[in-house]
């Protein structure tokens, strides 16, 4: 849910949940906003900027839904580290989670243990590529780019990591089958 006192700037990409191995890639990612591109897209915000999207390691969109700032968006990402697969469950508001994707291969990730990583949630705002920078510099999202102030905010609740061996927590003490 979005913090109404700190609205998002949809011209930027916000990476809001991801698992990051040592190589800096993402096993999966949840994002909202205009995707970071080099060069920056000519029309911002982009058509999908106001969608909440779940991406695989190769940045394919597994699930996309309009981001309603006044509604809780509930997500579960099933990661099978050994088989290198992903599946997405989602719901809105007080509804129970349901499967919203197929179980997909995520073979572009490294095998375990190197393919595992740190779990992040927060509001990582990517810059816009600066046209004055070289193409190589434009891709350096850590040290370069155009970045307005960071006054945006999101609310998080019930963030956890669990084994899906016995199923997936779907809300209201219910369990649904994993993929």
Assess if residue 5 is contained within a domain. no
Q: How confident is the model at residue 148 (pLDDT cuts 50, 70, 90)?
A: confident
Distance, in Å, from the CA atom of 119 to the CA atom of 121, rounded to the nearest integer, reads 7
- What are the start-end ranges of the E strands in 9-129? 13-20, 28-33, 51-56, 61-66, 73-80, 85-92, 98-99, 104-105, 118-125
* Tally of structural domains, the chain: 1
**pTM of the entire structure?**
0.94
Return the pLDDT at 64: 99
Q: How confident is the model at residue 72 (pLDDT cuts 50, 70, 90)?
A: very high
Q: How many CB atoms lie within 10 A of CB 86?
A: 25
Assess if residue 1 is contained within a domain. no
Q: How many CB atoms lie within 10 A of CB 61?
A: 14
Assess if residue 132 is contained within a domain. yes
How many percent of the chain have pLDDT more than 90? 84
Return the pLDDT at 150: 77
Assess if residue 69 is contained within a domain. yes
In the numeric block, which tokens belong to residue 106? 């995520």
Distance, in Å, from the CA atom of 29 to the CA atom of 95, rounded to the nearest integer, reads 22
With a cut of 80, say whether residue 122 has pLDDT above it.
Answer: yes
With a cut of 90, say whether residue 172 has pLDDT above it.
Answer: no
Return the pLDDT at 73: 97
Q: How close are the terminal C-alpha atoms of the chain, in Å?
A: 27
CA dist list (Å): 8 to 14, 32, 34? 9, 9, 11
- What's the mean pLDDT in 173-177? 93
Return the pLDDT at 1: 76
Q: Which has the higher per-residue pLDDT, 4 or 93?
A: 93
Q: How confident is the model at residue 115 (pLDDT cuts 50, 70, 90)?
A: confident
Domain residues for the domain of 105 are 13-176
Assess if residue 83 is contained within a domain. yes
Return the pLDDT at 102: 98
Q: How confident is the model at residue 3 (pLDDT cuts 50, 70, 90)?
A: confident
- What's the mean pLDDT in 167-172? 89
Assess if residue 55 is contained within a domain. yes
Assess if residue 7 is contained within a domain. no
Assess if residue 2 is contained within a domain. no
């Amino acid at each position: 849910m979005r913090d109404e006192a700190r609205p998002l700037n949809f011209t930027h990409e916000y990476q809001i949940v991801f698992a990051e191995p040592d190589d800096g890639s993402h096993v999966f990612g949840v994002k909202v906003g205009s995707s970071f591109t080099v060069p920056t897209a000519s029309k911002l915000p982009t058509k999908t900027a106001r969608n909440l999207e779940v991406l695989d390691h190769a940045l394919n969109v597994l699930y996309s839904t309009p981001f309603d700032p006044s509604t809780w968006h509930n997500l579960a990402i099933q990661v099978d580290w050994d088989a290198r697969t992903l599946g997405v469950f989602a719901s809105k508001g007080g509804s129970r989670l349901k499967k919203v994707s197929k179980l997909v291969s995520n073979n572009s990730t490294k095998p375990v243990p190197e393919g595992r990583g740190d779990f992040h949630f927060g509001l990582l705002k990517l810059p816009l590529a600066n046209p004055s920078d070289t193409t190589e510099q434009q891709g350096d999202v850590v040290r370069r780019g155009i970045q307005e102030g960071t006054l945006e905010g999101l609310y998080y609740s019930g963030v956890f990591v669990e084994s899906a061996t016995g199923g997936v927590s779907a809300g209201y003490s219910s369990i649904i089958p994993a993929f």
